[in-house]
Amino acid sequence: MMQLDDKVVLVTGAGNGLGAATAIACARAGARIWLVDRDAEGLAAVAAQIEALGGTCGSFTANLSLRQICFDAVEAAIAHFGRLDGLCNIAGITLFHRICDVTEADWQKTLAIILSAPFYLSQAAIPELIRNRGSIVNVASSGGIKGTSYTVPYSAAKAGVIHMTKCMAMEFINEPIRINAVAPGGMITNIMGGNPIPQDLDFNLISRFSGIRPPVDPSEVANLIVYVLSDATPSLHGAILSADGGVTAD
């Protein structure tokens, strides 16, 4: 019996980086995966990898910045597989700007995907997850724990994810559902996409947040998420698990 046998898990951000690693790790652990991302090509590549492993998955291409789309993503998963046992909120973006240069659009789109989407996806999924004694894993960040320069919308939203996780855990303390967060440190992924760090920022301030240890391997975080989703952790509820090489211990 594998860790996630018989479970159906919805993974957002599944087209790249940590979400892709998590989807593949969940499939290796025996789960059927509902892959969600706005990147259709990334989803197709991850679906092909899961199928090559003998796993089962379905894909849903969508921008999760709207409440209704989040509900549609969850409903489509349940319609496709007939159930849902796990929700991994992983999709995200990071933008580096001085506070006074953050536009309203940057603020809104960062909060929409980092904080609002996990909230709406949870709203949509919780009744089904309670029916199945299921689990939510939110991906936060060391930036949601420790002060960072030039990423206020991102880091404030990740702090919101951490507190949302604790509040949801308390609200459902008497229900058969577990709600936790994993907070990675820096991982080498494509999260900056087409928005590299502007060269005129003070890199001394940025490097104060960098870890002393090497970057975190997304596959390590993915395996941690599988463990948190699994039935091996019945008392893990409302926990924020850091995987950051000690960055937030400083």
Among 162, 191, 201, 206, binds ligand NAD (CB under 6 A): 191
Q: Do 177 and 151 touch, CB atoms closer than 8 A?
A: no
Closest CA to 18 of 37, 44, 41: 37
Q: How far is the CB of 232 from ligand NAD (least distance, A)?
A: 23
42 binds ligand NAD (CB under 6 A): yes
Active site residue 120: no
Taking CB positions, which residue lies at the least distance from ligand NAD? Answer: 17
CB < 8 Å & 24+ apart, contacts of 58-61 = 58/33, 58/34, 59/14, 59/34, 59/35, 60/34, 60/35, 60/36, 61/36, 61/37
Q: Sheet holding 8-12: strands in order across? A: 57-61, 32-37, 8-12, 86-89, 135-139, 178-184, 240-243
Cα atoms in the 13 Å half-sphere on the side-chain side of 206: 14
Cβ of residue 105: shortest distance to ligand NAD, in angstroms? Answer: 13
Could you give the CA distance from residue 121 to residue 67 in angstroms, rounded to a whole number? 8
**Stretch of 38-46, 79-87, 95-103, 204-212 lying at the interface with ligand NAD (CB under 6 A):** 38-46
Q: Does 66 bind ligand NAD (CB under 6 A)?
A: no
Task: End-to-end CA distance of the chain: give it in Å, rounded.
Answer: 40
User: At closest approach, how far in Å is the CB of 100 from ligand NAD?
Assistant: 23
Nearer to ligand NAD, 61 or 132 (CB): 61
Does the footprint of ligand NAD cover residue 17 (CB under 6 A)?
A: yes
Q: DSSP H helical segments within 97-178, as ranges?
A: 104-111, 117-131, 152-171
Q: Reduce the DSSP state of residue 150 to 3 states and report it.
A: coil
What does the alpha-carbon distance between residue 23 and residue 249 come to, in Å, rounded to a whole number?
A: 29
Q: Which is nearer to ligand NAD, 18 or 126 (CB)?
A: 18
Residue number with CB closer to ligand NAD (92 or 160): 92
For residue 111, state whether it binds ligand NAD (rule: CB under 6 A): no
Q: Which is nearer to ligand NAD, 169 or 183 (CB)?
A: 183
Q: Catalytic: which of 120, 150, 154, 227? A: 154
CB of 109 to ligand NAD, least distance (A): 7
Annotated active-site positions, please? 154
Binding site for ligand NAD (CB under 6 A): 13, 15-19, 37-39, 42, 63-65, 90-93, 113, 139, 141, 184, 186-187, 189-191
